[in-house]
Amino acid sequence: MLYAVLVAALVAIDQVVKYLVRANIPLGESIPFLPHVMDLTYVQNTGAAFSMFSEHTWMLTLLSLVVSVLLVLVLVKGWVTRTRLGRLCVAVVLAGAVGNLIDRALFNFVTDMFETTFMNFAVFNVADICVVLGGIGFCAYYLFLYEKLEEKESGHDDAGTAG
């Protein structure tokens, strides 16, 4: 239940920010956000990361739906991880997947807005931040904590006996 609330809150934040950008910034225009760091720039991205596959929006929509369903199953069924930290990371990735899925399904593009001004980088959105941070968090969890925490969660100690 806690994960569903987290996902809903992150999706809501993503969608509100995207709505505000679409309503207040003309397409292709920028407004200062963090001086010398970031502008808000309204971009319509029909592709995936860095606008790849921009001619295949329907395929990306279907892929986003499948990934979202799989991530829900990972959370509900406890596939891959049963720990709170592992599920938290999966929930954050799910929120990002759903946020961009909503845009693709409703508009045939994803609304992007965060543009770095101190370096040349792709314009991104709140959902993208969720996917990246949740993904990095899960990778770090899996590489460094998975064995210890999953064994603890299942009730086994280091010798493999019930604790």
Q: Which residues are catalytic?
A: 112, 128
* End-to-end Cα distance, the chain: 28
Helix (H, G, I), strand (E, B) or coil at 139: helix
* Both structure tokens of 124: 């991104």
Contacts of 119 (CB under 8 A, 6+ apart): none
What ranges in the chain are assigned the alpha helix state H?
Answer: 2-24, 57-77, 84-107, 126-144, 146-154
Alpha-carbon 136 to chain mean position = 11
Residue pair 75/3 in contact by the 8 Å Cβ criterion: yes
